[in-house]
Structure 1
Amino acid sequence: MPSKTVAIFLCTYNGQKYLEEQLNSIRDQSYKNWKIWVSDDGSVDETKKLLEAFQETVGHDRLQIFDGPRSGFAANFLSLISNIDLSADYSAWSDQDDIWDKDKLGNAINWLERQPDTTPALYCSRTRLIDENGEEIGYSPLFRRPPSFANALVQSIAGGNTMVFNHQARSLFNHMPPDLEIISHDWFAYQLVTASGGRVYYDPKATLNYRQHGANLVGENRSLKALFYRLFQLLGGRFHVWNEVNIKALKKMDALMTSDNKAILEHFEKAHSGGLISRMSGFFRSGIYRQTIVGNIALFIATILKKI
């Protein structure tokens, strides 16, 4: 039995259709020293009954159920990871409808244990995409450029369902003001860890089956349709609104940021809201980049049009 405990933070909401498969994939992990803390956001189906049945199987000490804040998925995930009463050596987020590979936790822990204890560290990975029936339909994009704060400002490279944190990374969330507004928990996690000078590892190997529902485009971005959807967001104004929210959130957390990353954020804010000359200067001085050539061309155009 490994000595270090992993806290699995599972958020549920009317998830009865696929929840049992996900719970079983957690039970079957090769890394066995885990505990599940579930925040249910007001399910009215059989979700809680499934959780209680699984609790009887694995033991009440290995699965505990809480009532969620009912303020959206991001607030639900943050309510767990920022709860100082739920202690563990490592922390992982979990969706209710995925299927984890057997070595998902083990691979993450292998990397995290090689990082300094005093440095925030975040493991994340590529995903294998499946449809509603569990049939494989492809993979999420394979990103090759290194993770960094300059990338995190303009792109989320991995889903929260792949993320595993060390204690130093998780402790960053304890500094969040209760009224902090963010766009998504996983994107902000990438921003927060890199902003603080922490280390992020993007594993090119898929570690789970990421279930896609119908027209879901939140996590799936391998198709041409999804690419145009994201370019539309980038050039259509929604990206500008998201960045406004993220900038405000990061400025409230600037006590955790390195001096270099504070400077990057200042330049990015100019690229976001200054005049044309100021925007272009901020764009180049911040060093912001996305993971693909097309994405970077769109980012440059968006800066000219005052859309980032």
Structure 2
Amino acid sequence: MATRNGAAHLPAQLASLAAQIHRNWQLWVSDDGSQDATRAIILDFARTHDVRLIDGPQRGAVANFMHLLCHPELPPAPAALSDQDDIWLPDKLARAVTALTRTDAPVIYGGSSVHITNNDKPVGTSPKWPRGPSFENALLQNVVSGHSTVLNPTALDIVRRAGVPAGIAFHDWWLYQLLTGAAARVVLDTQTVLHYRQHTDNVMGSFRGPLARRLGLMLDGTFGGWMAVNMAALQATDVLTPAARAKIETVLTAPRRLARALNQTGTHRQNRADNAALFAVAVLGRI
């Protein structure tokens, strides 16, 4: 769990962790310099639960989560990412552990969620992904939301070998890219396993909003910047399959013919409207 000034909703999240039917867990918390009661709430919870509290790097939530995942003392066990203000349903961990322990090969798990406001009002659900997960999809889109992500030990080892990448905008998108690029299996659970609290300043949430908003982020270069940083970080690792590395090189070496390169590599988003918008922007040279 990565925390920063989360006192308002943290008690409810901790209570939901305590209510898990899967009881064999340890909570690791990296606190990024909270100025409210966050640390006191965590220390109180630690009186009755197994908790390890460490200091975060204070470089934002992405760096904080990656700091946790790559901490040298983190046990080589299944690792579940947790936001500080969500509410887990009692079977969340149990469902993930069941899915992850069926193989020693790398697996990343993502569950479905009900989206709620700061006042706990339901406002939607997590999207469905008709084309399924793949590395070709991961290069352009994240379908494994960080608030539901769980890694098995083999997947966690890959993440730790790759280290903390510089400049990435979203840790969950990075995990999806990195692990599918390393031939990990992706399990997308259609069962609702948590309530995810949405925020008005959620950048990736905005990108998942109306098509016009996503198109704006493509046209103004924001999305292209994300892609460039992620692909450079992927190239710097030694965990990718040769096929994944070749796809990245094809895309990066054809900036003036990006639409053709995307088509050639099978790179895609999940729906036709998004794909059409992306290819149009690529043809215009705006990515």
- Determine if the TM-score, normalized by the shorter chain, exceeds 0.5: yes
8 Å CA contact retained: 1:131, 1:137: yes
Structure 1 distance, partners of 2:85, 2:23, is: 21
Structure 1 residue 220: Cα displacement: 6.4
Structure 1 residue 263: Cα displacement: 1.5
Please name the residue that 2:67 is paired with: 79
Please say if 1:247 is aligned against 2:226: no
Q: CA RMSD for the aligned pairs?
A: 1.7
Please name the residue that 1:229 is paired with: 213
Q: Which AA in structure 2 matches 1:112?
A: L
8 Å CA contact retained: 1:122, 1:193: yes
Runs of at least 5 residues in structure 1 that lack an aligned partner in the other structure: 1-9
Runs of at least 5 residues in structure 2 that lack an aligned partner in the other structure: none
8 Å CA contact retained: 2:5, 2:34: yes
Alignment of 1:74-153 (within 5 A): 74-114=62-102, 116-117=103-104, 119-153=105-139
Structure 1 distance, partners of 2:198, 2:243, is: 38
Structure 1 residue 280: Cα displacement: 3.4
Please name the residue that 1:164 is paired with: 150
Please name the residue that 1:32 is paired with: 23
Please say if 1:265 is aligned against 2:248: yes
Structure 1 distance, partners of 2:149, 2:170, is: 13
TM-score by length of 1: 0.88
Structure 2 distance, partners of 1:11, 1:171, is: 19
Please name the residue that 1:300 is paired with: 279
Residue 125 to residue 220, structure 1, CA distance change in 2 (3 Å): farther
Q: Which AA in structure 2 matches 1:47?
A: T
Secondary structure of 1:205's match?
strand
Structure 1 distance, partners of 2:208, 2:66, is: 27
Question: What does the per-residue CA deviation read over 1:8-38, in whole Å, with 9 as the maximum and x for residues that have no partner?
Answer: xx11000000000000101101111010010
Taking every aligned residue pair, what percent have the same amino acid on both sides?
Answer: 37
Structure 2 distance, partners of 1:180, 1:216, is: 20
Please name the residue that 1:209 is paired with: 195
Structure 1 distance, partners of 2:271, 2:20, is: 33
Structure 1 residue 269: Cα displacement: 1.5
Q: Which AA in structure 2 matches 1:32?
A: R
Secondary structure of 1:219's match?
helix
Corresponding residue pairs, total: 287
Structure 1 residue 307: Cα displacement: 3.0
TM-score by length of 2: 0.95
Please name the residue that 2:263 is paired with: 284
